[in-house]
Structure 1
Amino acid sequence: MTFRGIVTAVLGATVWSCAASTALAAPAIRGVAIEQSLEAEPIPAPPADVPLVARLAIDRHVFDGSSASTAWDRLQERLKIYQSSHVAVLLALGTFPSADADVEAWRQFLRLVAERCSGAVVAYQIGAVAAGEEHDVNRYVYLLKLAAVQLRTVESTAVVVQGPIPPGSVEWEARVFAAGAGPYIDAVAIDGLPSSAGPMTTVIEKEKPSGLAIIGPVHLPADPAQAAARFVETRTRALGTFVHVVAYDGEPAAIAAALSAARRIADLIAADLVTLDERAAVLRFTQAERDVTPSVAHTLLYSLTGFDTFLVYGPAAGATIDLEISVANATNPMVRDLLAGTTQKPLRSQTDGAGKRLRFTLPLADHPLVLDFNFGIGDTYILTSEAQKESLPRVEEIIFRYRQAQAAQDAALENYIAHVRIEQHFHPSPADPSYNIVTENRLFADRVGVEWEELSFELNGAKWTANRPAFPLVQPEKVLSLPLDLRLNEDYTYRLDGVEPVSGRPAFVIRFDPVDARRALYRGTVWIDRRSFVRLKVQAVETKLAGPVVSNDETQIYAEAGGLPGRPAWLMNHLVSKQVFLIAGRSVLVERELHFTDVSLNVPDFNAVRTSARASNRIMYRDTDQGVRYLVKKGETRVVSNQMTTSARAFALGADVDPSFDYPLPIGGLDILDFNFLNRDMQLALLYGGVIALGNLQHPNLWGGKFDASIDFFGLAVKSNDDVFDALGRRSGERVNRIPVATGVNIGYQVTPFHKLTGHYELHYDAYFRDPTTAAGFAIPSDTATNGEGAGYEFRRRGYSATANVAAYQRTKWTSWGTGADFDADARAYTKYDIGLSKDFVFKTFHTIHLNATYFGGRRLDRFSMYQFGLFDATRMHGVPSAVRFAELAMLRGSYSFNLFEQYRFDLFLDQASGRDPRIDDGWHEVTGTGVRLNLRAPRNKILLLKPL
């Protein structure tokens, strides 16, 4: 078996558990590292509060042959010394074997090291690469994974460190991560100085945001004073960066001087520090009223463990320097000299009226100094991860840091262009197929606003790039006060609810609610990155919406979209929303997704590109304070149009083939949907087909916005046949002809964005006639009006729709009919109720599976009030005639919609019902219905819909 075959067998058994545990484990190593070997004297016991690491290098060849026993004894003795003096050990295991034949022996050595050093070693460093060496990436990553598996199999909590690698091998390291190394390592060791590691740490932080970097060794001069100065300068420069450990080497006296200086900086080394954007803090250094900020080395830091703020500054020319800065909670500013170990107050301190704009005169030295804004206030640092979990900053501090980070990005980001794919999916009713709408767009955003051009439009798979059919523009109104918005910081109350990861990055979880419940605002949760204070995710529910949109539940995901000067840009890259619309007096759930790709930041010719888009004949939109509006051409320019497309019309042409009619029922006319009927903020839904008419007139926003009202109407101009079927078929002589007319009033109350209560009144009038085949002894029912009052409940969220309804009916006149055997005088009043659940599953955009389960029941239902399967009944089944009827019914309806060749949309239906008719027997009878529907593009910008009714 080859080397790769042997390794594959080993990896196969444990690769999953290793990768999973590595991905979840947080690196538990931080501080100052001292280079060590078994031949050198052990590091002296460090000061108690200095987090010290011994990077102990061992040569695996020493652990072979006759010297193996002595080498193992020396290693165990050294580990015991470090354990007793509380020095963490990073075991450096050198390079990978150069020959494949040596891999198996190397693998066994790694496992033996892990077994013998278990519990005494914090981290293992593997895969050293010397400057100028070129390693094959695939082989290197393969061995890196193999080593991580061996070490983690024995000790799952150990930190796995790759390297050391040269600081200049940035491109090579990016390829190492691209080959899949990330889940197997926790940190990367860089062989160089902190000043040279910037590009490499940027790659590591991007590919492994939960990891860390180790830099060094930094050689310390032999002179103790110079060694201490070198230590303070290099270790302070690494504060707040991705470098958590800086390694040093030198003579024993130099090491001792560095450790003595480390005690004075221990709180900063041990703290989880992040770098704050100085532009957000409006930081400014001046001397003699001249701005010298660019010439003064400085770093603004914030502690995620102690929640303190620090400014490391200098060295700089002169004796003093003036500072202006905006910092929250500057309780006790003090200047700390980390080299001398002294502290002093700033030479001058002033604050503005709000206490956040600070002005200082600070001393200067020939080495870095630290302005500690919270000196001596409480515990300055926390060492344990348990304490970090329990102790969190105040929510006001997090919001302040977020606003600073967002302001800095806003200042640096002038514009951007992105490709946006917008998908919308909705289902009008349980018996209808889904509608899938997809548009491809190019978005233009600058400091003035956002607009975009529509590149293509797809409806159920039929695609247009120009001259598409008109489609109603209905969306949630613009919410003027967004959560965490810089301009409106008092519109919301905020509550910190812990820390949890988002895309592998620890984030503060903050709940927010509007202060004024009467306004159209959001409520929900925002996840803010714990290190950079950028927004990672928002889940929000829009409140106080005006119809026809009654609720809007959004989840926004943010990601790095590119680089800006001195910082990455974080922009939304994915949005998912569940919106409930009031359409034709009914609630319809619309699922929307937006995907942002191909983002270009600060585009030099932004105005020219946007002007070119405006000059085209494509449809364009602008996001305004009143919502999304069309940006229409007017001469050579474009203007915002408030004349939105709010209606759609279609020809209805076909025939209903049903035994209920003596001949196919012709349907020819119009199908109209108007969201602004008569310009009165009302909706009209109407199907007029010559011999049949049904529709709904709705006002979606009444009495403060919580209520809606609508009127239903239905009429049939021809007689329908009402037959009775039993096990032997149609009963002879019992046919009755019927002409129905109905109207009704519906009232809805939106309790919350997801819960709704409804009430309705119905008025039916049924005229009954004798058919030529009706037996002479069979009495025709009396013409009657029927009054019905009912109530309902709806829940719609996360793609689910649950409904429940009950209604009581009373006939105004009900005399004996038929032969009298089936007549029940008590059936003059009857009750109906139902409960249902629906869910859509959308995949590959134009593939949708819809499932609906509903139970229908009632009391005192007779032949003329039972559930039937008519074309416009709530119990409709595809391919089942309306003459089939049950007093109790359980239904499962499903449909699968898919697209072929971007031209043909097929909808397949499968309906299954189980019903019971107590007039015949008490058994349940199965009914199966199937159907198919096709729609495709037609000439003259039309869509042709073909479906058997």
Structure 2
Amino acid sequence: MTVRGIVTAVLGATAWSCAASTALAAPAIRGVAIEQSLEAEPIPAPPADVPLVARLAIDRHVFDGSSASTAWDRLQERLKIYQSSHVAVLLALGTFPSADADVEAWRQFLRLVAERCSGAVVAYQIGAVAAGDEHDVNRYVYLLKLAAVQLRTVESTAVVVQGPIPPGSVEWEARVFAAGAGPYIDAVAIDGLPSSAGPMTTVIEKEKPSGLAIIGPVHLPADPAQAAAQFVETRTRALGTFVHVVAYDGEPAAIAAALSAARRIADLIAADLVTLDERAAVLRFTQAERDVTPSVAHTLLYSLTGFDTFLVYGPAAGATIDLEISVANATNPMVRDLLAGTTQKPLRSQTDGAGKRLRFTLPLADHPLVLDFNFGIGDTYILTSEAQKESLPRVEEIIFRYRQAQAAQDAALENYIAHVRIEQHFHPSPADPSYNIVTENRLFADRVGVEWEELSFELNGAKWTANRPAFPLVQPEKVLSLPLDLRLNEDYTYRLDGVEPVSGRPAFVIRFDPVDARRALYRGTVWIDRRSFVRLKVQAVETKLAGPVVSNDETQIYAEAGGLPGRPAWLMNHLVSKQVFLIAGRSVLVERELHFTDVSLNVPDFYAVRTAARASNRIMYRDTDQGVRYLVKKGETRVVSNQMTTSARAFALGADVDPSFDYPLPIGGLDILDFNFLNRDMQLALLYGGVIALGNLQHPNLWGGKFDASIDFFGLAVKSNDDVFDALGRRSGERVNRIPVATGVNIGYQVTPFHKLTGHYELHYDAYFRDPTTAAGFAIPSDTATNGEGAGYEFRRRGYSATANVAAYQRTKWTSWGTGADFDADARTYTKYDIGLSKDFVFKTFNTIHLNATYFGGRRLDRFSMYQFGLFDATRMHGVPSAVRFAELAMLRGSYSFNLFEQYRFDLFLDQASGRDPRIDDGWHQVTGTGVRLNLRAPRNTILQLDFGKSFLPDTYRRAGSTVLQILLLKPL
């Protein structure tokens, strides 16, 4: 290989590498355009080497109705003629539809044109604007984007040209670019002469550096000689500018004369020319030793393709002119008369000693001449030592390419069927077992929408294929404007944040934020494949949510799901979302996963299979603009129902065995969770078990959606035993019976989707009674009401939950109790605080590990205000009776949940705490709780729960009991 060949290969490889790295090619259109219509005669075969473009205007209305077939035939025939003559075609598609009702038909027409003209048309011109008729910018840009996506979907290499537009609409065109049109177009057609288009081309070049401008049409005079002269004048003035194509019209003889002249300028028209800085070349024109540079029209040009240098100069007064210039590699300077088709050497040629400073005497004419510094030498290559750095495309370009790729897939993908496994996992509280809900579904998606049938339902391992219990259908607010969607108004701002791999594929990282913070939109990151511009991954947080869902953080993974004609199909493969629900006045983190498998694309009998699913008795859903809705049977069809399941009810029957009670605590009543109580967008959570009532009434969406409010209530109708222990064990004669009643008001403020501030007021009333074993000299406390005010903070994200709370309490009445030795009058007021962290680890669907670490502390806590381990206490530990109490407590609780034989759900608990009771000593005492819970489906559609706990207590509590048992039978209603 020669040195010249090596240089060519290196430069070519470098250029190819840059193009491949961005996959964004420059517009491939350049030359001379001739105005054409289907009614006019075709352009005659052009001279060799002349880059000729036929700008063929068509009227879309002719391609509709009875004339459509004839019009299509004529268009196809004309395109064949141009192809055989090697004439590039720019198809001018006219104006945008004026009525919104016509947009869909117009869009379909564009797509049909692109499909029928694929491979025969180089460029499409769309969006013509008449002088004085500037369109609404937002609507114009929306339609321009829509057209570009439709055309590029079919022909990805086609050049999209905006216009033509009047040269005076400079400010309007700037607003068009500001509205985001730039990435969707490759060129702008300007309806005017080159001399009038300067300000407009400046705007285009600034906003679209990789684009080009098309000028014209220039109307040629009927006289062939004058037509040739005007052609040379206008075309040479456009060399090296942002104008790559100049269009002409006129009589056939005038066009023929222009094309003849074009042959003499073909190498300049076809070259990629740029304007050089004449100051660096120290260019100077003189006549009679007088500097006339400012009065002589001239342009110094450099070819990026042939690496040649040219000077276009004149016309000017006089017969000759002197030139001084510094140009490298001026190997064979010649003066070319493009109109006459002649060449001659400069009248005088002189160089300085170094051969860089050149002095010429040049002829003048009444039209432009060209000084070709390398005439007839061929390509000249110059190497530089500057390393080329990789540059990334603009974010608007990437988004456009993504939309183009997505539109192409949408056009090829008519429907698909997939199996979808939906999993939901949550912990109501740190002491409770995890809840795992799994549904198996068959999804049907077509161009109209998405619906699916539920094949099975599992709750903690109990499986239903039919007649499953009702489960609330609670979901975040539907986001109607998704990131990267093409809409009339752009709802997001985008920012390119580099490149990083996703599943081994290099991807552009694009951050997006909502423009309007008041709407329910998304904020996050999308990863777009660098080569194919398909979406690989999305991580997004939904903004401006209203209860009961106050946070939705989801990650979507996309993968190849099969092949379509000419391209693979990329569909969602896996979705993970972490949502925070307001339930029973508390924030509950729900982890949700969707797995898509067994995807079938463009299923031939899709509608038959879906019809069979609709005819079955299975539960079906449809995704609507309002969110997921039930698709219920109505006769032989299914209709969307807005009657959503917003509640779950169950009959509960069982008993709780706790050493703190003299006998098992019976439970018999209702367990209710209603997300739309009284149809007032309120929640009711209630457990009524005969002798016990526990509940919460909540409004999750107040004062603009950031606030929520709820009321707690609790009551126990039987006496519990309150014993006290010291280093010697249980104190004889000091047992007190107590019946508690409590209520409270909670206010929450959702600062961000993950941060929340809370405030609450509590009112407790404790009634104290003497036990038969209470000593006569032991005074029981006075019945008292206790007021409490507190505040809290919550952070929940990515499976983590961090909480902190503090509350101050005041007893309304507090007299001496006991023997007086343990009574502290200051304990009438006391403070409690806690801080905790929880994390769930989910694997293999029904295998869950839950960890919680919490510290509880306080000031002036006495026997009746210390932390205890009751069934409904935040400090609950498995197997630990409520008689155990500490003033300060650090605990670590863990659970492991799994299924056995897909029928039995087991929860294993291991809790460890270290507590301190100043009444006994200042030491820390270890408490260990263990437990096992069995959950299984029982006869008559019931669920049986057995919860057994065994604890290992300090010697102080050796007589307090160490076994707790709960038996519960639930019957969904």
Partners of 2:270 and 2:63 lie apart in 1 by: 35
**Are residues 25 and 715 of structure 1, via their aligned partners in 2, closer, same or farther at CA, if it must alter by over 3 Å?**
farther
Partners of 2:84 and 2:468 lie apart in 1 by: 77
Equivalences for residues 332-731 of structure 1 within 5 A: 391-487=391-487, 490-731=490-731
Secondary structure of the corresponding residue to residue 517 of structure 1: coil
**Deviation larger for 37-46 or 646-655:** 37-46
**Deviation larger for 713-722 or 330-339:** 330-339
Partners of 2:64 and 2:646 lie apart in 1 by: 82
Partners of 2:486 and 2:142 lie apart in 1 by: 48
Partners of 1:129 and 1:357 lie apart in 2 by: 49
Secondary structure of the corresponding residue to residue 161 of structure 1: strand
**1:31-63 per-position Cα deviation (integer Å, ceiling 9, x unaligned):** 999999999999999999999999999999999
Greater than 4 Å deviation, 4+ residue runs: 1-390, 942-949
Match of 1:857 in 2: 857
Contact 2:574 2:595 in 1 (8 A): yes
**Deviation larger for 577-586 or 287-296:** 287-296
**Deviation larger for 740-749 or 325-334:** 325-334
**1:711-764 per-position Cα deviation (integer Å, ceiling 9, x unaligned):** 000011111111101232210111111111100000000101111100000000
Residue 289 (structure 1) shift:
57
Secondary structure of the corresponding residue to residue 204 of structure 1: helix
Partners of 1:287 and 1:630 lie apart in 2 by: 89
Contact 1:18 1:184 in 2 (8 A): no
**Are residues 35 and 585 of structure 1, via their aligned partners in 2, closer, same or farther at CA, if it must alter by over 3 Å?**
closer
**1:157-204 per-position Cα deviation (integer Å, ceiling 9, x unaligned):** 999999999999999999999999999999999999999999999999
Residue 395 (structure 1) shift:
1.2
Partners of 1:870 and 1:772 lie apart in 2 by: 23
**Deviation larger for 490-499 or 87-96:** 87-96
**Are residues 542 and 45 of structure 1, via their aligned partners in 2, closer, same or farther at CA, if it must alter by over 3 Å?**
same
Contact 1:3 1:103 in 2 (8 A): no
**Are residues 241 and 3 of structure 1, via their aligned partners in 2, closer, same or farther at CA, if it must alter by over 3 Å?**
closer
Residue 319 (structure 1) shift:
38
Number of residue pairs the alignment of both structures matches: 949
Residue 599 (structure 1) shift:
1.3
Partners of 1:412 and 1:555 lie apart in 2 by: 26
**Are residues 643 and 869 of structure 1, via their aligned partners in 2, closer, same or farther at CA, if it must alter by over 3 Å?**
same
Contact 2:692 2:717 in 1 (8 A): yes
Contact 1:90 1:122 in 2 (8 A): yes
Residue 351 (structure 1) shift:
46
Partners of 1:106 and 1:496 lie apart in 2 by: 33
**Are residues 82 and 460 of structure 1, via their aligned partners in 2, closer, same or farther at CA, if it must alter by over 3 Å?**
same
Match of 2:56 in 1: 56
Contact 2:546 2:700 in 1 (8 A): yes
Residue 796 (structure 1) shift:
0.6
Secondary structure of the corresponding residue to residue 608 of structure 1: helix
**Are residues 102 and 828 of structure 1, via their aligned partners in 2, closer, same or farther at CA, if it must alter by over 3 Å?**
closer
**Deviation larger for 624-633 or 644-653:** 644-653
Contact 2:652 2:969 in 1 (8 A): no
Residue 785 (structure 1) shift:
0.6
Secondary structure of the corresponding residue to residue 640 of structure 2: strand
Secondary structure of the corresponding residue to residue 386 of structure 2: helix
Contact 2:630 2:644 in 1 (8 A): yes
**Deviation larger for 10-19 or 934-943:** 10-19
**Are residues 624 and 46 of structure 1, via their aligned partners in 2, closer, same or farther at CA, if it must alter by over 3 Å?**
closer
Secondary structure of the corresponding residue to residue 466 of structure 2: coil
Partners of 1:96 and 1:396 lie apart in 2 by: 23
**Deviation larger for 799-808 or 929-938:** 929-938
Secondary structure of the corresponding residue to residue 947 of structure 1: strand
**Deviation larger for 58-67 or 662-671:** 58-67
Contact 1:280 1:405 in 2 (8 A): no
Task: List gaps (5 residues or longer) in structure 1.
Answer: none
Residue 709 (structure 1) shift:
0.5
**1:220-259 per-position Cα deviation (integer Å, ceiling 9, x unaligned):** 9999999999999999999999999999999999999999
**Deviation larger for 347-356 or 500-509:** 347-356
**Are residues 417 and 220 of structure 1, via their aligned partners in 2, closer, same or farther at CA, if it must alter by over 3 Å?**
farther
Residue 652 (structure 1) shift:
1.9
Secondary structure of the corresponding residue to residue 176 of structure 1: helix
Partners of 2:97 and 2:703 lie apart in 1 by: 78
Partners of 1:315 and 1:610 lie apart in 2 by: 76
Contact 1:870 1:882 in 2 (8 A): yes
**1:265-318 per-position Cα deviation (integer Å, ceiling 9, x unaligned):** 999999999999999999999999999999999999999999999999999999
Contact 1:305 1:381 in 2 (8 A): no
Contact 2:720 2:737 in 1 (8 A): yes
Contact 1:270 1:382 in 2 (8 A): no
Partners of 1:914 and 1:824 lie apart in 2 by: 25
Secondary structure of the corresponding residue to residue 862 of structure 2: coil
Residue 423 (structure 1) shift:
1.0
Match of 1:195 in 2: 195
Partners of 2:357 and 2:681 lie apart in 1 by: 50
Contact 1:554 1:578 in 2 (8 A): yes
Contact 2:833 2:858 in 1 (8 A): yes
**Deviation larger for 15-24 or 292-301:** 292-301
Contact 2:631 2:641 in 1 (8 A): yes
TM-score, normalised to structure 2's length? 0.60
Partners of 1:103 and 1:302 lie apart in 2 by: 45
**Deviation larger for 866-875 or 771-780:** 771-780
Secondary structure of the corresponding residue to residue 575 of structure 2: strand
**Are residues 779 and 601 of structure 1, via their aligned partners in 2, closer, same or farther at CA, if it must alter by over 3 Å?**
same
Partners of 1:47 and 1:55 lie apart in 2 by: 18
**Are residues 453 and 66 of structure 1, via their aligned partners in 2, closer, same or farther at CA, if it must alter by over 3 Å?**
closer
Contact 1:277 1:404 in 2 (8 A): no
**Are residues 359 and 787 of structure 1, via their aligned partners in 2, closer, same or farther at CA, if it must alter by over 3 Å?**
farther
**Are residues 853 and 234 of structure 1, via their aligned partners in 2, closer, same or farther at CA, if it must alter by over 3 Å?**
farther
Partners of 1:148 and 1:409 lie apart in 2 by: 15
**Are residues 13 and 425 of structure 1, via their aligned partners in 2, closer, same or farther at CA, if it must alter by over 3 Å?**
farther
Residue 896 (structure 1) shift:
1.0
Residue 647 (structure 1) shift:
1.0
Residue 487 (structure 1) shift:
2.4
Partners of 2:462 and 2:277 lie apart in 1 by: 49
Residue 477 (structure 1) shift:
2.1
Contact 1:668 1:689 in 2 (8 A): yes
Partners of 1:176 and 1:6 lie apart in 2 by: 45
Contact 2:138 2:488 in 1 (8 A): no
**Are residues 869 and 19 of structure 1, via their aligned partners in 2, closer, same or farther at CA, if it must alter by over 3 Å?**
farther
**Deviation larger for 621-630 or 345-354:** 345-354
Residue 806 (structure 1) shift:
0.3
Contact 1:879 1:931 in 2 (8 A): yes
Contact 2:653 2:968 in 1 (8 A): no
TM-score, normalised to structure 1's length? 0.61
**Are residues 778 and 438 of structure 1, via their aligned partners in 2, closer, same or farther at CA, if it must alter by over 3 Å?**
same
**Deviation larger for 298-307 or 376-385:** 298-307
Contact 1:22 1:184 in 2 (8 A): no
| Percent of aligned pairs with the same amino acid | 99
Contact 1:131 1:165 in 2 (8 A): yes
Secondary structure of the corresponding residue to residue 329 of structure 1: coil
**Are residues 176 and 487 of structure 1, via their aligned partners in 2, closer, same or farther at CA, if it must alter by over 3 Å?**
closer
**Are residues 609 and 810 of structure 1, via their aligned partners in 2, closer, same or farther at CA, if it must alter by over 3 Å?**
same
Partners of 1:299 and 1:364 lie apart in 2 by: 15
Partners of 2:395 and 2:357 lie apart in 1 by: 20
**Deviation larger for 797-806 or 483-492:** 483-492
Contact 1:127 1:144 in 2 (8 A): yes
Contact 1:51 1:266 in 2 (8 A): yes
Q: Larger RCO: Structure 1 or Structure 2 (Cα < 8 Å, ≥ 6 residues apart)?
A: 2
Residue 814 (structure 1) shift:
0.6
Task: List gaps (5 residues or longer) in structure 2.
Answer: 942-965
Partners of 1:662 and 1:279 lie apart in 2 by: 104
Residue 656 (structure 1) shift:
2.1
Residue 940 (structure 1) shift:
2.7
Partners of 2:738 and 2:461 lie apart in 1 by: 41
Match of 1:42 in 2: 42
**Are residues 17 and 443 of structure 1, via their aligned partners in 2, closer, same or farther at CA, if it must alter by over 3 Å?**
same
Secondary structure of the corresponding residue to residue 386 of structure 1: coil
Contact 1:789 1:807 in 2 (8 A): yes
**1:876-913 per-position Cα deviation (integer Å, ceiling 9, x unaligned):** 11111101000000111111111111111111111111
Residue 939 (structure 1) shift:
2.4
**Are residues 306 and 449 of structure 1, via their aligned partners in 2, closer, same or farther at CA, if it must alter by over 3 Å?**
farther
Secondary structure of the corresponding residue to residue 388 of structure 2: helix
Residue 89 (str. 1) matches residue 89 (str. 2): yes
Partners of 1:63 and 1:546 lie apart in 2 by: 50
Residue 208 (structure 1) shift:
34
Is the radius of gyration larger for structure 1 or structure 2? 2
Note the aligned Cα RMSD (angstroms).
22.3
